[in-house]
Amino acid sequence: MREVAIIGVKNTLFGEQWDRSFRDLVVEAGVGAVEDAGVAGERIDSMFVGNMSGGQFVEQEHIGALIADYSGLAKNLHVPSTRVEAACASGGLALRQAFYSVASGMDDIVIAAGVEKMTDVPSSKASSALAAAADREWEGIMGATFPGLYAMIARMHMHKYGTTSEQLAQVAVKNHYNGQFNPIAQYRNTITVDAVLSSIMVADPLRIFDCSPITDGASAVILAPADVAHEYTDTPIYIKASGQASDTIALHDRRDITTLDASVVAGRRAYEMAGLGPKDIDLVEVHDCFTIAEICAIEDLGFVKKGEGGKATQQGETAIGGRIPVNTSGGLKACGHPVGATGIKQAVEIVQQLRGEAGKRQVDGAEVGMTHNVGGSGATAVVHIFSRNR
Amino acid sequence: MSVPRFWRKQIARYNLVGTYCKTCNEYFYPPRNVCPTCRRDGQIGEHKFNGNGELVTYTVIHTAAEGFEGQTPYVLGIVQLEEGPRLTSQIVGDPKEMHIGMKVRPVFRRLGQSGERGMIYYGTKFVPA
Ligand SMILES: [Zn+2]
């Protein structure tokens, strides 16, 4: 297997973008990443596009071809383009497919992109589209919502480990604090614990400020074999590992409601592949679709002991400057969560951090970073490890 | 959800009929065609649950799923049946009286309706025992 590097990255703005279409967004991200890498279109061997629900959000399927076409890669070049879907983990999984294709030697220059246009439909329709990532026949039909499923995880976490609503709120406060320094973030305002605790209840104990928003956005990265990466950039970032795991689609079938076993196993596979452990990671972008999700993630990936995620957050261990900075981008909470794009956006953030280009949210001396992308309530998890050094 | 899609699982929903693997003695609700532990070695048969169980965790939903708007706030929970399997269901009763570990029993209730004039779905909810 060949070593693989990222040689170009680009995020669009994240937010409510009524003046821009699905294809506007993804073309901006794709072209931006190609320009960042300084690579000619003829050199591109293939592309993988993470998209959860184009069919429901913009009534468009056949996303892979559409994007190749509007990126100018279809007409004369006929670049193969594949859509990858794993709910909110679609982006992370697109990156993994791109990684495979370069590592295997089949392709050299590959684009991994992710996109979602969520605000063209009313929020009730958006919620219903998102609910398709859970078990429609045995969760959805009973009136389950995504906040509801994560609320049941939160309730159990509080019951078992004494995690508090204040600790959940601290996750949102920290991620908004980081998000103010991210020029693409949907929310660049800081919030307080009191503001979270007095926001409206969505699914007890989760309030609206415990939830990531509905967002439009796209992200793209360009991959190349590590051996030639320096021909394109002075700061290639190496993909040291890729891990993926599946679990039951329904939350009720999990071994432990408070542990996402898919995260644990995807993390373990990535650590083994990289020959690294949690202590070697300088910063991590985790899937904080809800505040409780970040607490579970840092536990499941081994950064804190099971049950201590809330306490660690409260004590500032996950802040920039803390022991293990988590979600320097602002996370899904402040940056926004265009579901198919999120996994790629996480990779863009880590690349910018490892290049030393993260501005006011820069983690000093960051050399090794991780991304963690989850589909549904944990039926898919994808973990990548990146390094500044080969 | 379409009529045939609901109809296919009607017996399971109305009567809490799931499955049982004779090879590893594990019970499944919702029903499964393949035992997740024994896979093809599992011998799967039907099992009717009496429905007595315990509340594992729950939430009170204030922002409803599509089609459930008229029901808020409603309690959604994960129930563990005596034989072991867990399922997601609404718990009928005062949200303030819910607690983890609470004993529950099944009741036959209206689950919802597809659109204003669509089919009405029935199935099993739970109440404090
Ligand atoms: Zn079995």
**A88 carries an active-site annotation:** yes
Burial class (CB in 10 A: 0-12, 13-18, 19+), A202: buried
Structure confidence at residue A129 (pLDDT): 92
For residue B21, report the distance from its CA to the centre of ligand 1, in Å: 5
Q: Is residue A368 part of a domain?
A: yes
How far apart are the CA of A158 and the nearest CA of chain B, in angstroms? 10
Sign of CA dihedral A14, A20, A23, A28: negative
The answer to whether residue A92 neighbours chain B at the CB level (below 8 Å) is no
Same structural domain for residues A299 and A181?
Answer: yes
Cβ–Cβ below 8 Å for A144 and B76: yes
Q: How many CB pairs (< 8 A) connect A and B? A: 107
Nearest to B66 among A124, A159, A251 (CB): A124
Cβ–Cβ below 8 Å for B9 and A137: yes
> CA-CA distance, A344 to A184, in Å (whole number)?
14
The answer to whether residue A160 neighbours chain B at the CB level (below 8 Å) is no
Identify the contact set of chain B against chain A, taking CB-CB distances under 8 A. 1, 5-6, 9, 30, 36, 56-66, 68, 71, 73-74, 76-78, 86-90, 95, 100, 111-112, 121, 123
Structure confidence at residue B113 (pLDDT): 83
Give the pLDDT mean for A332-356. Answer: 98
Structural domains in chain B? 51-128 (2.40.50)
Same structural domain for residues A95 and A199?
Answer: no
* Residues 6 or more apart whose Cβ sits within 8 Å of residue A218: A11, A12, A25, A26, A28, A29, A30, A113, A114, A115, A116, A338, A341
**A335 carries an active-site annotation:** no
Contact criterion met (CB below 8 Å) for A344 and A221: yes
- The average confidence (pLDDT) of chain A is 97
Give the pLDDT mean for A51-70. Answer: 95
Query: How many domains does one find in chain A?
Result: 2
> CA-CA distance, A370 to A382, in Å (whole number)?
11
For residue A196, report the distance from its CA to the centre of ligand 1, in Å: 45
Same structural domain for residues A383 and A247?
Answer: yes
Give the CA radius of gyration of chain B: 16
Q: How far is CA A352 from CA A183, A283, A317, B3, in A?
A: 13, 12, 22, 50
Instruction: Identify the band that residue A165 occupies on the pLDDT scale cut at 50, 70 and 90.
Output: very high
Contact criterion met (CB below 8 Å) for A262 and A245: yes
Cβ–Cβ below 8 Å for B66 and A127: yes
Partners of B1 on chain A (C-beta within 8 Å) are 136-137, 141
Nearest to B68 among A135, A143, A201 (CB): A143
Partners of B5 on chain A (C-beta within 8 Å) are 137
Q: Is residue A340 part of a domain?
A: yes
**Residue A27 belongs to domain with CATH number:** 3.40.47.10
Give the pLDDT mean for A360-364. Answer: 98
Active-site annotation holder among A287, A337, A372, A384: A337
For residue A112, which phi and psi values (nearest 5 degrees)?
Answer: -115, 120
Q: Is residue A152 part of a domain?
A: yes
Q: Give the rounded distance of the alpha carbon of A171 from its chain centre.
A: 16
| Helix (H) and strand (E) counts in chain B | 2, 8
Give the pLDDT mean for A61-73. Answer: 95
3-state secondary structure A351-363: HHHHHCCCHHHCC
Q: Which two tokens stand for residue A256?
A: 């432990």
Per-residue pLDDT tens over the stretch A293-319: 999 999 999 999 999 999 999 999 999
How far apart are the CA of B42 and the nearest CA of chain A, in angstroms? 18
> CA-CA distance, A375 to A140, in Å (whole number)?
16
Same structural domain for residues A288 and A319?
Answer: yes
Instruction: Identify the band that residue A331 occupies on the pLDDT scale cut at 50, 70 and 90.
Output: very high
Q: Which two tokens stand for residue A36?
A: 């960042």
Same structural domain for residues A75 and A203?
Answer: no
Same structural domain for residues A82 and A204?
Answer: no
Q: Is residue A135 part of a domain?
A: no
Structure confidence at residue A89 (pLDDT): 98
Give the pLDDT mean for A101-106. Answer: 98
* Start-to-end CA span in chain B (Å): 30
Structure confidence at residue A267 (pLDDT): 98
- Domain hosting residue A260, numbered range: 143-212+239-387
Q: Is residue A86 part of a domain?
A: yes
For residue B125, report the distance from its CA to the centre of ligand 1, in Å: 27
> CA-CA distance, A349 to A327, in Å (whole number)?
9
Fill in the amino acid letter for A102. Answer: V
For residue B34, report the distance from its CA to the centre of ligand 1, in Å: 8
Q: Is residue A189 part of a domain?
A: yes
Secondary structure of residue B67 in the 3-state scheme: coil
Same structural domain for residues A168 and A280?
Answer: yes
A356-364: long-range contacts, CB 8 A cutoff, minimum separation 24: A356/A235, A358/A328, A359/A181, A360/A181, A361/A178, A361/A181, A361/A182, A361/A320, A361/A328, A361/A329, A363/A282, A363/A283, A363/A320, A363/A325, A363/A328
How far apart are the CA of A206 and the nearest CA of chain B, in angstroms? 9
> CA-CA distance, A284 to A306, in Å (whole number)?
17
For residue A252, report the distance from its CA to the centre of ligand 1, in Å: 18
Contact criterion met (CB below 8 Å) for A128 and B112: no
Choose the mutation target among A127, A141, A159, A292 for the interface with B, i.e. most B CBs under 10 Å: A141
> CA-CA distance, A68 to A324, in Å (whole number)?
38
Same structural domain for residues A208 and A173?
Answer: yes
Structure confidence at residue B27 (pLDDT): 97
Same structural domain for residues A308 and A327?
Answer: yes
Per-residue pLDDT tens over the stretch A224-258: 999 999 999 999 999 999 999 999 999 999 999 99
Structure confidence at residue B67 (pLDDT): 86
* Residues 6 or more apart whose Cβ sits within 8 Å of residue A92: A50, A86, A342, A343, A344, A346, A347, A371, A373, A382, A383, A384
Partners of A131 on chain B (C-beta within 8 Å) are 65-66
Partners of B95 on chain A (C-beta within 8 Å) are 204
Q: Which residue of A has its CA nearest to B31?
A: A138
Same structural domain for residues A192 and A219?
Answer: no
Q: Is residue A58 part of a domain?
A: yes
What pLDDT tens digit does each residue of chain B (129 aa) get?
788 888 899 899 999 999 999 999 999 999 999 999 999 999 999 999 999 999 999 999 999 988 898 899 999 999 999 999 999 999 999 999 999 999 999 999 999 887 778 888 899 999 999
Secondary structure of residue A13 in the 3-state scheme: coil
Give the pLDDT mean for A94-105. Answer: 98
For residue B83, which phi and psi values (nearest 5 degrees)?
Answer: -75, -10
Looking at residue B48, what DSSP letter applies?
E
Q: Is residue A28 part of a domain?
A: yes
Instruction: Give the whole-number percent of chain A exceeding pLDDT 70.
Output: 100
Partners of B90 on chain A (C-beta within 8 Å) are 142-143
Contact criterion met (CB below 8 Å) for A134 and A140: yes
Per-residue pLDDT tens over the stretch A11-45: 999 999 999 999 999 999 999 999 999 999 999 99
On the question of pLDDT at A151 being above 90, the answer is yes
Same structural domain for residues A268 and A324?
Answer: yes
Same structural domain for residues A324 and A225?
Answer: no
